[in-house]
Amino acid sequence: MTDSAGQARPQGTCRACGGTVMQFLELGRQPLSDRFLSQPEIHQEYFFHLAVGACERCTMVQLMHEVPREQMFHEDYPYYSSGSAAMQKHFVDTARHLLGTEAAGPDPFVVEIGCNDGVMLRTVHEAGVRHLGFEPSGKVAKAARANGVRVRGDFFEESTAREVRASDGPADVVFAANTICHIPDLDSVLQGVDALLGPDGVFVFEDPYLGDILAKTSFDQIYDEHFFLFSARSVRALAASFGFELVDVERLPVHGGEVRYTLAREGTRRPADRVAALIAEEDVGEVATLARLDRFAGDVRRVRDDLRALLERLKVEGRRVVAYGATAKSATVTNFCGIGPDLVSCVYDTTPAKQGRLTPGTHIPVRSADGFSADSADYALLFAWNHADEIMAKEQAFRQAGGAWILYVPQVHVRG
Ligand code: SAM
Ligand code: TMP
Ligand code: ZN
């Protein structure tokens, strides 16, 4: 069986259900998306094969090849969730929502998987509510502790979840944002949640939504850390195979479009009408069909060709092009499209842990965002397009001085 590019379609085994995964998109040799390099490190980079497929049985969209978790999440993991004011607000609102609903009883216990720098749990801590964050990445965990958050520096998995159940008792809420899709071993996660959650507790997690990724051709959501691209249908199937039920879904505007899934133990809650409604919408949009996914793959190759053509033309015209936001997502864009320092001079970013280093695979220098306004670039390629409102509001002087933003979602366009 061949794919949309006329290639034999490789197959794999589904990490959610054991069914057969059919590949639909090939993104080539890719580096670790969050490994920003010092000059000597460019000679010892880790690469892996980035390709995506969908399970014939449960529809779960997933990477064909897995990167060992210790390669991605370690002492120097450089992503700090509090780096965006809009995301800080989102997580304060999320914490308040949980505190007003699922964690509103006497002496509630809230657990977060992947609490990072404490962007969400900080508000839970300040409310005096019992909590625990799992965070294996050393420096971000330290930042959370400095915010008063109680952190266990381990991966969440069945064994560590059982230990917490034994020491702290059952959790009312297990929450995760932008983390469950990072964990190929879903068996261990769901078994851990089963061990830790009280009988009436809920498992709430939010992650990039496949429906939005297809609609926006946001292929940069596909990289080593994003092992799964969830849909309501695939999450409902996953929940059911572990004795849980998908009881609510909420679409979120953050990070280019996410869904917050709520799972409860089977039979304990009546699923909200919007669960069936979202699955019906996915059926109409054929989100889970190989034909739709093949069309997406064609769209991705078109965006790649358009972006390269634009950057090459600007180079010939002698324009200065820089980028903004050294995102993990941009590793897929730069490496798949072949964008290096010849086409984009540097990337501006607010994260100290990324500054002074080189982007993974393509080795574009990362500079402090403080220098952006003095750069007088003609164009800025916005890698952090999911934070466009926040960044464009902050950097208004760039356009006033005649600069223009280049965006590639949902297609390549220039905003002058
Ligand atoms: N929740 C934050 C947010 O939404 O901004 C952080 C998201 S960050 C992309 C993913 C985090 O999950 C990282 O800090 C990483 O170290 C952590 N992580 C990865 N695998 C994990 C696991 N098995 N258990 C707990 N945390 C994990
Ligand atoms: P994210 O899209 O994965 O959240 O990553 C956003 C990156 O962009 C992160 O490295 C921080 C950076 N950033 C800025 O440089 N300036 C900003 O105003 C914002 C919101 C993010
Ligand atoms: Zn499956």
What's the pLDDT score for residue 383? 98
* pTM for this predicted structure: 0.97
Is 155 inside a domain boundary? Answer: yes
Q: Whose CA is nearest to atom 6 of ligand 1?
A: 116
Cα of 53 to ligand 1 centre, how many Å? 23
Atom of ligand 1 nearest to the CA of 116: 14
Is 232 inside a domain boundary? Answer: yes
Q: Whose CA is nearest to atom 14 of ligand 1?
A: 116
79 Cβ inside 6 Å of ligand 1? yes
Pairing label, strands 47-55, 61-63? antiparallel
Structure tokens at 299: 């769209």
Rg of the chain over CA atoms, in angstroms? 21
Is 107 inside a domain boundary? Answer: yes
Cα of 1 to ligand 2 centre, how many Å? 40
**In sequence order, what are the residues at sequence separation of 6 or more whose Cβ sits closer than 8 angstroms to the Cβ of residue 318?**
none
How does pLDDT run across 372-403, given as a tens digit for each residue?
999 999 999 999 999 999 999 999 999 999 99
Is 119 inside a domain boundary? Answer: yes
- CATH label of the domain that carries residue 95: 3.40.50.150
Atom of ligand 2 nearest to the CA of 255: 2
Q: Judge whether 336 and 342 are in contact, CB under 8 Å.
A: no
Structure tokens at 155: 């991966």
- The total number of residues shown for the chain amounts to 416
349 Cβ inside 6 Å of ligand 2? yes
Burial class (CB in 10 A: 0-12, 13-18, 19+), 58: buried
pLDDT-derived band of residue 195, with 50, 70 and 90 as boundaries?
very high
Cα of 385 to ligand 2 centre, how many Å? 9
Question: Which of 5-19, 118-132, 166-180 has the weakest average pLDDT?
Answer: 5-19
What would the mean pLDDT of 161-184 be, rounded to a whole number? 98
Cα of 366 to ligand 2 centre, how many Å? 12
What's the pLDDT score for residue 6? 74
84 Cβ inside 6 Å of ligand 1? no
What's the pLDDT score for residue 2? 78
DSSP 136-181: --HHHHHHHHHTT--EE-S---HHHHHHHHHHH--EEEEEEES-GG
What is the three-class DSSP state of 110?
strand
Cα(125)–Cα(8) distance, integer angstroms: 53
Query: To test the ligand 2 pocket, which listed residue (370, 375, 387) has its Cβ within 8 A of the most ligand atoms?
Result: 387
pLDDT-derived band of residue 7, with 50, 70 and 90 as boundaries?
confident
For residue 147, the tally of other CB atoms under 10 A from its CB is 17
How many structural domains comprise the chain? 1
Is 170 inside a domain boundary? Answer: yes
390 Cβ inside 6 Å of ligand 2? yes
DSSP 341-367: TTT---EEES-TTTTTSB-TTT-PBEE
- Segment 289-295 long-range contacts (CB within 8 Å, at least 24 positions apart): 290/22, 290/24, 290/54, 292/214, 293/24, 293/25, 293/54, 293/61, 293/214, 294/3, 294/4, 294/24, 295/4
Cα(125)–Cα(156) distance, integer angstroms: 20
Query: Mean pLDDT of all residues in the chain?
Result: 97
227 Cβ inside 6 Å of ligand 1? no
Is 17 inside a domain boundary? Answer: no
Cα(336)–Cα(52) distance, integer angstroms: 14
For the cut 80, the answer to whether the pLDDT of residue 407 exceeds it is yes
What would the mean pLDDT of 194-208 be, rounded to a whole number? 98
For the cut 90, the answer to whether the pLDDT of residue 4 exceeds it is no
Cα of 116 to ligand 1 centre, how many Å? 6
Cα of 392 to ligand 2 centre, how many Å? 12
Sheet holding 321-324, edge to edge: 366-368, 347-349, 321-324, 379-382, 404-407, 413-415
What is the three-class DSSP state of 8?
strand
Burial 317-334, CB ≥16 within 10 A → b, else e: eeeebbbbbbbbbbbbbb
Cα of 327 to ligand 2 centre, how many Å? 6
Query: To test the ligand 2 pocket, which listed residue (226, 350, 366, 370) has its Cβ within 8 A of the most ligand atoms?
Result: 350
Atom of ligand 2 nearest to the CA of 85: 20
Sheet holding 61-63, edge to edge: 11-13, 20-31, 47-55, 61-63, 228-229
Is 217 inside a domain boundary? Answer: yes
30 Cβ inside 6 Å of ligand 2? no
Domain span at 122: 81-291
331 Cβ inside 6 Å of ligand 2? no
Structure tokens at 404: 């223009």
How does pLDDT run across 13-22, given as a tens digit for each residue?
999 999 999 9
Is 347 inside a domain boundary? Answer: no
Burial 67-79, CB ≥16 within 10 A → b, else e: bebeebbeeebbb
Atom of ligand 1 nearest to the CA of 206: 4
Query: Which region, left, alpha or beta, applies to residue 400 given φ > 0 means left and ψ of -120 to 50 means alpha?
Result: alpha
DSSP run (H or E) holding 47: strand 47-55
Cα of 58 to ligand 2 centre, how many Å? 34
Question: Which DSSP state fits 336?
Answer: H
Structure tokens at 277: 């409604």
Q: Whose CA is nearest to atom 19 of ligand 2?
A: 84
Cα of 207 to ligand 2 centre, how many Å? 17
Q: Judge whether 253 and 228 are in contact, CB under 8 Å.
A: no
Cα(252)–Cα(258) distance, integer angstroms: 5
